[in-house]
Chain A
Amino acid sequence: MSGEQLLRLRGIRKSFGPVLANDSVDFELAAGEVHALVGENGAGKTTLMRVLYGLHRPDAGDIEIDGAPAVLSSPARAIGHGIGMVHQHFMLVPSFTVAENVTLGNEPGGRVLYRAALAARRTREVMARLELDLDPAAVTGGLTVATQQKVEILKVLYRGARILILDEPTAVLTPSETRELFALLRSLAEGGTGVVFISHKLPEVFAVADRVTVLRQGRTVLSRRTAELSTEAVVTAMTGRSDVHLGRVDRAPVADAPTVLLVDGLCTDPAGTNGGTNGGTDCGLDSVSLRVRAGEIVGVAGVDGNGQTALAESLVGLRAARAGRITLNGAEISADSVRERRDLGLGFVPEDRHLQGIPLHGTAAEGLAAGRIRRTGRLRLLSAALPAAVRDWARDTVRGYAIAVPDIDAACRAMSGGNQQKIVLARELEETPACLVLAQPTRGVDIGAIEYLYGKVAQATARGCAVLLISADLDEIFRLSDRVVVLFKGRAVAELDTRATTRDEVGGHMMGLAG
Chain B
Amino acid sequence: MTRPSVVALVGRRLGRSGFAAVVAVLLALLLIRLQGFAPLPTVLAGLRYALGDPSRIAATFAWGLPLLVAALGVAQGFRGGMFNIGAEGQVYSGALAAAVVGAYLGPLLSGLHLLLCLLAASVAGGAIAGGLGWLRAHWGVDEVLSSLLSNYLLILLCTYLANGPLRDPTRQSGSTRNVADTAMFPVILPHTELTAALFLVLALAGFCWWLAERSVAGYRWRMTGASPGFAAAVGIDVAGARISAMAVSGALCGVGGALLVMTSQGRFWTGIGTGIGWDAVLLALVGRARPVGVLAWAAGYCVLRASARGVEQATGIPAELSSVLIAVIIIAAAARNGLLAVLADRLRRWGGPDRARRRSAPAGVRR
Interface residues of chain A, those whose CB is within 8 Å of chain B, are 14-17, 56-57, 59, 73, 275, 316, 318, 337-339, 341-343, 348, 350, 352, 355-362, 366-367, 370-371, 373-374, 376, 380-386, 395, 407-409, 414, 427
Considering the complex, which residues of chain B in the window 201-242 have a beta carbon less than 8 Å from any beta carbon of chain A? 210-211, 214-220, 222-223, 226-227, 229-237
Q: Separation in Å of the A446 CB from the closest CB of chain B?
A: 22
Chain B contacts for A348, CB-based, 8 A: 233
Interface-located stretch among B67-75, B100-108, B303-311, B355-363: B355-363
What 4 additional pairs, Cβ within 8 angstroms, besides A359-B226, A360-B226, A382-B215? A57-B360, A370-B223, A370-B230, A382-B211
Secondary structure type dominating chain B contacts: helix
CA gap between A227 and B220 in the complex, in Å: 54
A73-B236 contact given A384-B215, A407-B2, CB 8 Å threshold = no
A374-B227 contact given A17-B365, A407-B1, A409-B3, CB 8 Å threshold = no
CB nearest to A383 among chain B residues: B216
CB nearest to A382 among chain B residues: B215
In contact, A385 and B365 (Cβ under 8 angstroms) = no
CA gap between A339 and B231 in the complex, in Å: 11
In contact, B233 and A316 (Cβ under 8 angstroms) = yes
CA gap between A338 and B236 in the complex, in Å: 8
CA gap between A15 and B361 in the complex, in Å: 7
* B56 on the A face (CB < 8 A): no
Considering the complex, which residues of chain B in the window 226-279 have a beta carbon less than 8 Å from any beta carbon of chain A? 226-227, 229-237
The 3 nearest A-B residue pairs measured at CB: A339-B235, A385-B219, A370-B234
CA gap between A361 and B42 in the complex, in Å: 44
For this complex, 17 residue pairs linking A to B, each with C-beta atoms less than 8 Å apart, are A16-B365, A57-B360, A338-B234, A339-B235, A342-B235, A343-B235, A356-B233, A357-B233, A358-B230, A361-B226, A370-B234, A384-B215, A384-B216, A385-B214, A395-B1, A407-B1, A409-B4
Number of interface residues of B (CB under 8 A): 34
Q: Separation in Å of the A283 CB from the closest CB of chain B?
A: 21
CB nearest to B365 among chain A residues: A16
Interface residues of chain B, those whose CB is within 8 Å of chain A, are 1-4, 210-211, 214-220, 222-223, 226-227, 229-237, 349, 356-357, 360-362, 364-365
A360-B227 contact given A73-B349, A337-B237, CB 8 Å threshold = yes
Chain B contacts for A371, CB-based, 8 A: 234
A385-B235 contact given A16-B365, A352-B229, CB 8 Å threshold = no
A355-B230 contact given A362-B223, A382-B211, A409-B3, CB 8 Å threshold = yes
CA gap between A386 and B213 in the complex, in Å: 10
In contact, B218 and A385 (Cβ under 8 angstroms) = yes
CA gap between A427 and B236 in the complex, in Å: 15
Q: Separation in Å of the A52 CB from the closest CB of chain B?
A: 15
In contact, A380 and B216 (Cβ under 8 angstroms) = yes
CA gap between A343 and B229 in the complex, in Å: 19
Chain B contacts for A385, CB-based, 8 A: 214-216, 218-219
